[in-house]
A = this chain, B = another copy of it.
Amino acid sequence: MLPFARLTIIGTGLIGSSLARAVRAKMPGVTLTGHDLDPDVRARAQALQLFDDIADSAGAAVTDADLVILAVPPLAMSAVADSLAGDLPPDAVISDVGSVKTSVRDALMAALPGPQRIVPAHPVAGTENSGPEAGFAELFDGRWCILTPPDVADPVNVERLAEFWRRLGSEIEIMTAEHHDMVLAVTSHLPHLIAYTIVGTASDVEDVTRSEVIKYSAGGFRDFTRIAASDPTMWRDVFLANKDAVLAMLQRFTEDLTALQRAIRWDDGDTLHRHFSATRDTRRRVIDAGQDTAAPDFGRGPRSA
């Protein structure tokens, strides 16, 4: 018994196309309809045969759906919801995959009839690549999917959506949109902002050529370039849509960085050593929790080739 029989995915980039592939692989009975606002991306999704049908408009894509998932950047949610509101079947459940949940919830509640069927969700998974070619069916395997149902959401819809994600291999957590946005500001949004910053800083040092920065990137810099290669539009939207939590975390980060900077300036080796020892333990816990591999250096380089 499938939780949903007719799924429409709006947005066929990395996440939307991975979702289509995962549903094909794990729930082959589901009818898949897709749409992307960008005609070029739509054509590429079509060529990849990811969907049973690619519709030319968001409205046409949802007329027959019992689950609609919006896989578009956070600030595009409102316009997409507006464009399909008139064509949405009365009982269809609406969800999304956005990295910010408070603003998305507010946008969907404002644009769509039937607040009981709105169940925003966030699969915490991704890579630095973009577009329908970058997706793969296993992206959500063993990752967390966070559901942030508003108080008015029908518990049956919440459970159906939870079951949908479980079948794709994800583990489910339920929390408020506000708490989600705080947690993700720490674990995802702040790290991305820092990575984007440092990659820019390194490119601008007059005494060090850009080719030197690239050549010696194995010393640590390259890890930041991966994150800083993520989709610019999506991340612009994330920072603007989760502004308050991001700015709050940034303030803490800056205080902590200033404290370490002061320790360096005053030759306070004990403070540095104490701080660096504590962070080691966090790494061990990430590996123990199955959220990363223990292979040194991420298994990169000749050893794993």
Which A positions have Cβ atoms within 8 angstroms of B?
99, 124-129, 134, 136, 138-139, 141-144, 146, 169, 173, 179, 182-184, 186-205, 207-208, 210, 212-230, 232-233, 235-237, 239-240, 243, 246-247, 249-250, 252-254, 256-257, 260-261, 264-265, 267, 269, 272-273, 275-280, 282-286, 289, 291-293, 296-304
Q: How far is the CA of A300 from the CA of B304 in the complex (A)?
A: 12
Apart from A232-B273, A292-B300, list 20 A-B contacts with CB within 8 A. Answer: A125-B218, A129-B296, A138-B302, A173-B215, A182-B207, A186-B205, A187-B213, A191-B221, A194-B194, A199-B279, A221-B286, A226-B292, A229-B284, A230-B276, A235-B272, A236-B273, A240-B272, A243-B267, A247-B261, A250-B257
Residues A191 and B187 in contact, CB atoms below 8 Å apart: no
CB <8 Å contact, A192 and B207: no
Q: Which residues of B contact A134 (CB under 8 A)?
A: 296
Q: B190, A198: Cβ atoms under 8 Å? A: yes
List of B residues within 8 angstroms of A220 by Cβ: 187-189, 191-192, 195, 227
Is the beta-carbon distance between B124 and A218 smaller than 8 angstroms?
Answer: yes
Kindly provide the distance from the CB of A207 to the nearest chain B CB, expressed in whole angstroms: 5
* A interface SS class: helix
A293 to chain B, nearest CB (A): 5
Pair B273/A199 contact, Cβ less than 8 Å: no
Q: Quick check: A261 and B252 within 8 Å, CB to CB?
A: no
Q: Which residues of B contact A183 (CB under 8 A)?
A: 208, 212-213, 216
Contact across chains for A229 and B278 when beta carbons are under 8 A apart:
no
A201/B252 in contact, CB under 8 A: yes
A291-B214 CB under 8 A given contacts A197-B256, A198-B194: yes
- Chain B residues lying within 8 Å of A227, measured Cβ to Cβ, are 220, 223
B213 near A272: Cβ-Cβ < 8 Å: no
**A192 to B: closest C-beta gap in Å:** 5
CB distance from A160 to the nearest CB of B (A): 23
* A236 / chain B contacts, CB cutoff of 8 Å: 269, 272-273, 276
Which of A204, A217, A250, A302 gathers the greatest number of chain B CB atoms within 10 Å?
Answer: A217
